Every structure is written in C-alpha cells, then in structure tokens.
A and B are shown apart, each in its own frame.
Chain A
Amino acid sequence: MPSATPQPKIQDYAMIGDCRSAALVSRTGSIDWLCWPRFDSPSLFGALLDPDGGGSFRITPAGGHTARRRYLPETNVLETLFRTSSGSVILLDFMPVAAEEEKRRRLDPDHSLLRIVKGVQGEVELEVRYDPRPRYGTSSAALVSHGPFGLWIDTGGKGTLALRSSIPLAMGPEGRSGWGETKAPDGSGSPASEGWSGPGAGAIVRVRQGEVLHFQLSYTEEAPAVFPPFEEAVEALQRSVDWWRSWVSGLRYDGPYREHVIRSALALRMMIYAPSGAVVAAPTTSLPEEIGGSKNWDYRFCWLRDASFIVRALFGLGFHDEAASFVSWLLHTTRLTRPRLNVLYDVFGEEPPKERELPMQGYRGSRPVRLGNAAKDQLQLDVYGEVIDAVAQYINQGGTLDKETSRMLIAFGRYVCDHWEDPDEGIWEVRSGACPHVHSRVLCWTALDRLIELRRKGHIRSAPEQRFVEVRQKIRDNVLRHGWSEKIQSFVQVVGTDHVDAALLLFPWYGFEKATSERMRKTFERIHLELHAGGSLYYRYATHRGKEEGAFGICSFWAAEYLARGGGSLDEARAAFEGLLRTGSEVGLFSEEVDPRTGDALGNFPQGFTHVGLINAALAISERMRGIQEVEHHVLPQRPEGKRRGRSLPGTP
C-alpha cells in the first residue's frame, strides 16, 4: 500500500557521490537513497523506494520554507538554500574526494558523507532526523551510542555506519547506549533517549546567522575506523571542490551549451566506479518508467551496450584517462565470458545477482522493487558492435592492442559471423521473447566493419579478413532487403514488421547509412510519425506510446544528434536540443524517461545514458557548426610499424 507520506518528484532529487557510491538528496534536505560501500550495495537510506520503512537522513526547516538548489560551480558539491520567514540557512552536502597523493598523506574514512549547515541570516529552526534502515529496510539493528564517536548501527553485512554531529542528537526508544550518552563533543547537550520519540535519532535546533553545524556520516568495514575532527570539514570541502574543478579543467570542449555539457560530464564522472573504471547505468533501482507501473529495474550495473557512446563522450570531451580505463575494464571483463558477451556486469566484471523482488512499497507505490537484473541472461547481439566500436575509438585516439586482446576481438568477430542471424532480445531488452532486430544486425555489421578496418590498418593482423568482408556484405544486403519496409518506407524495428524504433536513428552514427540518405530521411519521417511525443521528445518504440512508460531521454537526444549529423539543419538540431535541455532537473540532471504530459522525470535517476546522449548531441552540434557531419572514428589510423608506440590499455601487459 502506497505511503501516506508524499514523496518528492524524481527530478527533485540531486545526486552526490565519490565515484564509488552515490546518494540522492531531496529538495527538503533528505538523503533518501544511499548505498555503501558501492553503487550496488544494499541501501542504508531507502526512503526513495519506501518512505515509511526505507530510512532517511533529513535536515530541513521545521516550518514553512522555500528551497533553492545548485551545485557549486564545476563541482558535485550540492548547496541548498532554505529560506523561512525568520531567516535562511545553507546546507552543503557532499562526499569528500581528493587526489591520490593527498589521500596517501592523510588518514580519512574510506567512505564518508559530510553535511554542513551554515546560518546565513536571522534564525532558522531545523529538524534533524537520522533514521538509517540498513539492507533496504529489512535489518532490525538499532542505533547504539558510542559517545564521542557518534551513533552507530550495524549494517548487517561486514560494515558499520556511524554518524557524528556537532550537536547532540537524542535517540528514540529503540536506541541504546554503548559507550556512554550521546553528547556534543564539548560535553553539552541532552542525554540520549530524551526528547525524541520518533524512530532513529534526532533534534530540533536553532541556527543563527554565522553558526555552523557539522554532520559526518561514515561507513567502515575495517577497524580501527577513522574519525576526522569536525574542524577538518571545511578542509575536506575545499579539497573536494578543488578535486572536481581540477577534473573539469581537463575538459576540452569549447562548443555551445558548455555549462550543460560540464554538468553532464560531472554527473557521468560520479557514475564511473573509480577502482575499476566501470560505468554504472544509474545509481538507483526500481524508479518506475510509469508511476504505479511494474517496469522497475535495477540499473546499478554496467551495460556493455553503453560502451561506444560513453567512450565517444569521454574522448570527445578530452577525458582520455577515463575513456581508456573504461575500455580496459570492458576488455578485461569480457575476457571472462568470451566469445559470448553478457549484457551487463557488476563494477568488477562479475555476474550481477539473480533478479529478485524486495518487500518495499516502491516509489509512489510502483511495485515490484527489484534487485539484480534478469536482462543479464538475454542474448543481445548489438553489444558486439558496441564493444568493438569502443575499441576502435580507443585506437583512433592513439591506443594500441596487445596480442591477447587482438585474439579476443577476432573471436568476437567469428562469433558474430556465426550468430548474426539469430533472434535476440535487442537493445530494448524486451522480455516478450527473442526476434530478429534490425538494429542488432546493423551492430553486427558494425562489429565486422570495425574489425576489417582494424585488420587493414595492421592492428589485428591475424583476422580472417575475407570471411569478415563476405559476412559484412551479407548482413548489409539482409538489412537493406528485410530490414526495410516498402509499405511504411522506413527501416523497421524487427524484420518482417511495420513498426520503427528510435534505435534506427543510430545508423549514421555507426556508418551504416548516411544521415543525409533518402532512406534515413524517410526513416526519420516515420519515426517522427510513430514515436514523436511532443516537443523534442520521442518514445523508444511504438508498442506503448506512453501507456506504460514515458518518452525516452537518450532517444530524444539521438534525434537531435541525427539532425546535427545532416538529417536536418543546424537550427533544427539546436532547437531540438534546447527543447530537451528544458526536461532536465533544476540542477541539470536527467532521468531515463520523461512524462510528456507533465514533464516529470521517470525511471532510474540520474541516468548516465541520457547524459551521454546530451554530451554526444552537443558534440555533434559543435562539429556541425565547424562544418563536420561525419563520425570521424570510422577511419582508423595505420598501426605504427616496428616498436609499438602510442597509449596502451591501462592494466594490460
């Protein structure tokens, strides 16, 4: 039964993170989602999916107020300005990050989240409510006071969550005292268990102009745990701001919409799992594609499909290290299952857990809440093209391949030659059974096309070029004959049907068909007819037309990019792009889908794929402004003769 507590809209959340895990903070200053130690760990705060039992950490004015939010410029430090009739305060939320050299000099918690409250003007009464509910709210562990080391709770796994605060927090009736009473570090404050009748712990506190409160949340699986003093919070804030700004300074993009591109890059960076280079699709699970619906999936894993787009976005912006790390993760991960590629992996390249359902209420009653993702067992042939295209882009940027990787790519090529005609679940991971998807076949063509280019330029010398050439031609003939419908005058989603999907817009991106061709022009007309959702928005396929899901964010950006690549005029591309920018949140984050009727975000949030779509569309528009329409990475450089030169994959011999 849905909770009586009104839940914020999805776009009312903002993300903070440290490239290992992420938290979602609402406009009312409530952390409603946090998974530690990594993205796909069980939640510690899960009110996002269960406002009554999921747990949250709220710092909000006790009475009526307005809130205005932003990220500090070029950072992932979130600032919320609360205004009340009696004054205003600023709440800063961030997960500390620092350069590796800095980390080696300091002893800091492995995982921490800092919340700093500053009184700006007048006096504001704040309610602080701390109610962690580990393991998606299923843990029965209670808060325990550890004196100056804060309030602790066993997370039910290997770790412990601790909150230290510069004000005393009183525990509710379920809390107990471990080392002593909960007092402020200076010894002031009310004893634990007094004055707080709710769950968890909390306090009502008045913050006057100039006063500062600190809240330090940390997670550890290792003892002794580390607790920096509160005075270092300002240093941690400055270090984090410096780190994010230093990272942004590596951006090589001077085109239009720079501010939006930077925000998308920063959002994407938070979703790159730093220890391995993997990129998760989103930091959340089961935010619904339709409010009250059942299309609720766990996106806290890494989809191989996203590879080509992510690599293009990162290289396009000048983030070569991140792109190379991702390609390295991609190739190391896929070695475990080659020549068969799985659809998704976890951040360390392992198979995600089996899909199961959780006893949570779901976002606004949208059930089930799922863990794991059954798409992992599907066959999606397009991933071969995506992975090989990502490697081709890496070569284009000066990368080199070792022999083992070359052999693996050739094995992928042989697999494609043997299986390209097989029915598969395709890019949209339909759960209604496998069928011959045209997009998948074009991606099989792409895989062979790039391998042939790699062979001809000397990067994979032992590839069976003749066979690859023959099969590539067969696939092309097949797509042009069976993937094209004379009836609707368009490429189609599935061979033998008369419907389109938005993935057809990608054919120019892969070099299969020019954006300016008659076939693509007609296909776009058909897509507009069947899938246009109003404004700049498009659905991904025609089956539902908004009945079970919203318009798809990345498909809409693909349309803008298609126009920029020659499918339309520059003005049309810019208009489409600018229309889409208006569907982002107030802090510039984008969801997987948008409800075309209300403009509300739907699906997991924020969605890396949509941000990648924004970046790539902006890059395409920028290139179009410079007179470039073609996708440049289709023509690869010759491999240097003699001693290997250029960049090698991180972590490969």
Chain B
Amino acid sequence: MSGLSILVWGFGATILLTTLLAGSQGAGLTRMNLPFMIGTIFTPNRDKAKLIGFGIHLLNGWIFAFIYAVFLQAMGGPTWWRGMIIGFAHSAFLLMALMSLLPAVHPRMASEKRGPTATQRLEPPGFLGLHYGYQTPLTVLLAHLLYGAVLGFFLGRF
C-alpha cells in the first residue's frame, strides 16, 4: 500500500462516489448536490460554486483515502469489507453529526430556527440530510460503502 497507490485509488473511489451521488440526484432519489453545497461556502455564483465544490470534494476524497488507509492498516490490512465498515462509520458521522452542524459553519446556510436572511438563504440539510429527500441517507450511505469497498479492495492488491 504505497502513497501512489492511495492517490490513484483514492481518486478512482472519489470519482465513483461523486458519480453515484450525482446519478442519484439525476434519478430523483435525492436533491442533494454536494459540490453545490460545498462551493456555496465560497461563492454565490452557482456555476463557480459547483466547480469549486467539485474540486474541494475531489481533494477531500484524496485526503480521506489516506485516513481510510490508516484505519485499514490498523484493522489488520485492507479488504473490501473492512473498507465498507469504515465507509459505514464515515457516512454515519456525515449524516448524523455533520449535516446537523452544517448551518453553523456554512456562511450562506439558514437553519431550521433562523429563517432565510439576506446572507443565509440556503435550505439546511437537517438530521440525516432528510430535508433533501427521504432517500438522501440511503444514497450517501451506499456511496460511502462503495468508496470504502473500492479502497479496501484495491489498496490490498496494488
């Protein structure tokens, strides 16, 4: 499990995760657009926000690939199912903790208690991201299970 291998498979797994999430939105399973949500932290321009958000998400994917690698190693070596366990824990943290915290850190996001204002006008995701569609947790979970499985499987072989 070399640094190059983590970079390569981290990139591949992130692309897969992003594609799955975008596909879920396209298929109407969720309205969540992760690059848009991330990018609007930095700019109100929709197009730019999606581009910036995509770039940050990709970078995030790489960083998380290293974190996954550390955990995989600590768990006894990379396998697809250990990757999925980490993916499960990762998505559970995202859905249960981060989604609820997001209005506090996102400068353009309103909260359920604070209605839209001139600066905070984005809909909050709510617990498990359910405000973005009731199948949102499922798509996030599946995407991260796949991300973990890909990393676990390929980091164990290359």
A551 to chain B, nearest CB (A): 44
Task: Give A217 Cβ to nearest chain B Cβ, in Å.
Answer: 14
Pairwise interchain contact A107-B31, C-beta atoms closer than 8 A? no
CA distance A104 to B50 in the complex (A): 12
A229 at the interface (CB under 8 A from B): yes
A146 CA to B46 CA, complexed, in Å: 24
- Residues on A with C-beta less than 8 A from B31 are 158-160, 220-223, 225
Partner of A179, one of B25, B36, B109, B112: B112
Which residues of chain B have C-beta atoms less than 8 A from A107's C-beta? 40, 44, 46, 108, 121-122
Interface residues of chain A, those whose CB is within 8 Å of chain B, are: 103-107, 146-149, 157-160, 164, 179-180, 185, 220-229, 231-232
Q: How far is the CA of A159 from the CA of B152 in the complex (A)?
A: 36
B112 touches A158 (CB 8 A): no
A223 contacts B108, CB within 8 Å? no
Contacting residues, chain B, for A104 (C-beta < 8 A): 45-48
B79 at the interface (CB under 8 A from A): no
Identity of the chain B residue whose Cβ is nearest the Cβ of A149 in the assembled complex: B123
Instruction: Kindly state whether residue B57 has any CB partner on chain A within 8 Å.
Output: no
Q: Is the CB of B116 within 8 A of A228?
A: yes
> Are B44 and A223 in contact, CB atoms less than 8 angstroms apart?
no
Q: Chain A nearest CB: distance from B23 CB in Å?
A: 12
Q: How far is the CA of A149 from the CA of B113 in the complex (A)?
A: 10
Given contacts A106-B44, A224-B109, contact A229 B28 (CB under 8 A): no
A222 contacts B36, C-beta separation under 8 Å = yes
- Given contact pairs A222-B31, A224-B37, A148 touches B118 in the complex (Cβ within 8 A): no
Shortest CB distance A138–B (Å): 16
Q: Is B66 an interface residue (CB 8 A)?
A: no
Instruction: Return the chain B residue nearest A103 by Cβ.
Output: B46
CB-nearest residue of chain B to A152: B131
Q: Given known contacts A105-B45, A107-B46, A220-B31, is B123 in contact with A226 (CB within 8 Å)?
A: yes
Give A147 to B112 CA distance when docked, in angstroms: 8
A224 with B123, Cβ < 8 A, contacts A107-B46, A158-B28 known? yes
> How extensive is the interface on chain B, given as a class?
20 to 34
Q: How far is the CA of A164 from the CA of B131 in the complex (A)?
A: 16
Nearest chain A CB to B152's CB is how many angstroms away? 30
Interface on B for A, CB 8 Å cutoff? 25-28, 30-33, 36-37, 40, 44-48, 108-110, 112, 114-118, 121-126, 131-133
Q: Are B44 and A229 in contact (CB under 8 A)?
A: no
Tell me whether A227 and B116 are in contact in the complex, defined as CB-CB below 8 angstroms, given that A105-B44, A107-B44 are known contacts: yes
On whether the beta carbons of B125 and A224 are closer than 8 Å, the reply is yes
In the assembled complex, the Cα of A357 lies from the Cα of B126 at a distance in Å of 40
Q: CA separation between A222 and B47, bound complex, in Å?
A: 13
CB distance from A427 to the nearest CB of B (A): 39
**Inside 8 A of A106's CB, which chain B residues have their CB?**
44
- CA–CA, A232 and B40, complex, Å: 19
Q: Report A78 CB to chain B, min CB distance, Å.
A: 25
Residues of B within 8 A of A160 (CB): 31
Which residues of B are found within 8 Å of A228, using beta-carbon distances?
A: 116, 118, 121
Known: A158-B31, A229-B118. 16 other contacts (CB 8 A): A104-B45, A107-B108, A148-B115, A158-B26, A160-B31, A179-B112, A220-B31, A221-B25, A223-B31, A224-B109, A224-B123, A225-B123, A226-B121, A227-B122, A229-B115, A231-B118
Chain A residues within an 8 Å CB radius of B33: 222-223
A149, B116: Cα distance in complex, Å: 8
Chain B residues, CB < 8 A from A157: 28
**3 nearest CB pairs, A to B:** A148-B115, A223-B132, A223-B31
